[in-house]
Chains A and B, each alone.
Chain A
Amino acid sequence: QSVLTQSPSASGTPGQRVTISCSGSSSNIGDNFIYWYQQVPGMAPKLLIYRDNQRPSGVPDRFSGSKSGTSASLAIGGLRSEDEADYYCAAWDNSLSGWLFGGGTKLTVL
């Protein structure tokens, strides 16, 4: 089944470490790279992680990505109030010959 599944919400307090997960299948995450985007409400998505675990220049090293099999995770360390946003995973799907986005995880900083 060609979907990327994310938990709808996550939360943490300032300074904490939180992890957001993304579950897929062999036709997407299992065979292609995973990408993570941060979207502050009303703003354009911003690339956080590419090629599973690479950070574009300017993205703090508090953000890290990992992948195992058909699942991937985004970890945010030293949580800050400005990290409150929606986070999306994305991957190419071989069966669909197209891009899949996860349903998004809304991160709340308590």
Chain B
Amino acid sequence: QITLKESGPTLVKPTQTLMLTCTFSGFSLSTPGVGVGWIRQPPGKALEWLALIYWDDVRRYRQSLKSRLTITKDTSRNQVVLTLTNMDPVDTATYSCAHLNSFTHYDAIGRIDSYYFDQWGQGTLVTVSS
């Protein structure tokens, strides 16, 4: 059974750096074909993908936030850490981590591994206010 849990501060001041930890169980980030991503949801608004890291340490970031985001993994501790610098009140949101599963398919190019979010943590509300 896969579980994920987010932890970190619930309140940060503008310009501060947010560091969130996703602690998971039921899978290993050293196993090919898995990954972990971060998604946030401002109150009353839609889901917004932020970043992801695959088992092979490949990372992807939301383009509009790329300069402010960093994602890292600690395979031995089953944790993924997200940092978001220069926090602003518009960054107030519930931040969630999610497990990335994958499947293999083939097209004209050849073999493709497609990933998707299949299990989510409960999320943690982060408020940015002075």
| B26-64 interface (Cβ within 8 A of A) | 37, 39, 46-49, 52, 60-63
Contact A96 B63 (CB under 8 A): yes
Q: What total of A-B pairs shows CB separation below 8 Å?
A: 60
In the bound complex, CA of A88 to CA of B49 (Å): 12
> If the complex has contacts A50-B116, A51-B114, are A101 and B122 also in contact, measured as CB distance less than 8 A?
no
| A28-78 interface (Cβ within 8 A of B) | 32-33, 35, 37, 39, 43-47, 50-51, 56
* A20 at the binding interface (Cβ < 8 Å): no
Contact A50 B118 (CB under 8 A): yes
Please give the distance in Å from A103's CB to the nearest CB on chain B. Answer: 5
Contact A45 B103 (CB under 8 A): no
Question: 11 interchain pairs (CB within 8 A)?
Answer: A37-B117, A44-B96, A47-B119, A92-B114, A98-B61, A98-B63, A99-B37, A99-B49, A99-B117, A100-B49, A104-B47
Please list the residues of chain B having a beta carbon within 8 angstroms of any beta carbon in chain A.
Answer: 37, 39, 46-49, 52, 60-63, 96, 103, 114-123
